[in-house]
Amino acid sequence: MTTDEKPKGPASYFPSIEQKHGHPISHWLDLVSQAKGMKHMEIVNWLKTEHHLGHGHANAIVAHALSKTKK
């Protein structure tokens, strides 16, 4: 990716997630990977409740993580 290209889709949220919550995206993806057997919205709600992420940030992380596991 060149420096002029901006991330699209869920990854476009990653810089603001890292800045606001103080953890790298790998931290959040590791958490999501441990939520085996949970559905998308269950994981989103868990991140919101237990880790105080906003809906958009939680949804972006989960959508990205789950898109990688379906390939």
**Integer Cα distance of 68 and 13 in angstroms:** 16
- pTM across the whole model: 0.85
Res 39: pLDDT: 97
Nearest to 32 by CA among 61, 1, 11: 61
Instruction: Mark out the alpha helices in 22-69 (DSSP H runs).
Output: 25-33, 40-51, 55-69
d(CA 11, CA 23): 15
Quick: pLDDT tens for 15-52: 999 999 999 999 999 999 999 899 999 999 999 999 99
pLDDT at 2 over 90: no
pLDDT value, residue 22: 95
In angstroms, rounded to a whole number, what is the distance separating the alpha carbons of residues 16 and 3?
18
